[in-house]
Amino acid sequence: MQQPLIPPNSPTHRHPEPGEVVIPSVNWEGLKTLYLKEVRRFFKVQLQTVWAPAMTTLLFLVIFSVALGRARTTILGVPYADFLGPGLIVMGMIQNAFANSSSSLLVAKIQGSIVDVLMPPLSAGELVAAYVAGALTRAWLVGIAVWAVMLVAPGVDVPIRDPLLVVYFGTMGPVLLALLGILTGVWAEKFDHAAAVTNFIIQPLTLLSGTFYAIDRVNPLLRDLSHANPFFYIIDGFRSGFIGQSDGLLGQGAIILLVANLLLTWACYRVLRSGWRLRA
């Protein structure tokens, strides 16, 4: 039996009183909207945000493979190209995760459109979740694009041997960089500030993470520095999912990344909740 319509002036049909909680827990609609905004923002210029990083990563592979091809170098029991490929994939993923979240906040601040994010009923936790999810989506799109090309490229073999390791480290790594990108975007007041973080922190940590070399082949000082570098555990864990060999301790790396992401999530939540450098 069809229920009768309730008239707008009926006592059971009322607007919420001032101060009454309308969204009791999570604003799923707002969270989804901000996430889709982030995805559409970078997807409108996908040649720059997805395919250009993929091409740059492949150029690294070609250059190093050609330079060391005649030496028939093997690392961890696999040819150097097979060792290098997975590291380049996740390196492109984490770099683009950082670029996505940091540029999104910085551009919004400079253009004055940050108010469109702060005014809606979105909590600090929902803002963090949406920005991280958008950056993670871009990271995986870049990673899948590079991996797909490597599957058909001659001279490199990148079959997935342990999907669980690939998914875990391929997710935790970009999440770590996305959270760092949020903090950078909030702190930076101009593009030079964000570029300084990229050039003097992100790039050195990425290049010294064991992407291009095995840790057991470097001097003790560089080995110790690599073990103190969280990017090393991202590269090593992700690569071990492809080649079946690890350059470090996978369990230790998984725990370090989990703890680091929890601490950074808390830091991002506190910063966004305080409105530091976001509210005039």
10 Å Cβ neighbour count for 80?
A: 22
Does 15 fall in a domain?
no
Q: What is the pTM of this model?
A: 0.88
Does 237 fall in a domain?
yes
Does 12 fall in a domain?
no
Does 280 fall in a domain?
no
Lowest mean pLDDT among 76-80, 99-103, 273-277: 76-80
Number of domains in the chain: 1
Calculate the CA dihedral of residues 150, 178, 95, 231 and round it to 10 degrees.
-90
Among 49, 93, 277, smallest CA distance to 185 is for: 277
The mean pLDDT of 119-145, rounded to a whole number, is 95
Does 19 fall in a domain?
no
Does 257 fall in a domain?
yes
Lowest mean pLDDT among 51-60, 137-146, 158-167: 51-60
More confident residue, 261 or 156: 261
Whether the pLDDT of residue 28 is over 60: the answer is: yes
Does 260 fall in a domain?
yes
pLDDT band at 1 (very low <50, low <70, confident <90, very high): very low
Pair of tokens at residue 136: 């993670």
Res 11: pLDDT: 53
270 vs 158: CA distance, rounded Å: 40
Res 189: pLDDT: 92
Does 1 fall in a domain?
no
What is the residue range of 191's domain?
Answer: 28-68+75-274
The mean pLDDT of 204-230, rounded to a whole number, is 85
Whether the pLDDT of residue 17 is over 80: the answer is: no
The mean pLDDT of 30-40, rounded to a whole number, is 94
The mean pLDDT of 97-116, rounded to a whole number, is 93
98 vs 94: CA distance, rounded Å: 6
pLDDT band at 6 (very low <50, low <70, confident <90, very high): low
Res 133: pLDDT: 97
181 vs 59: CA distance, rounded Å: 25
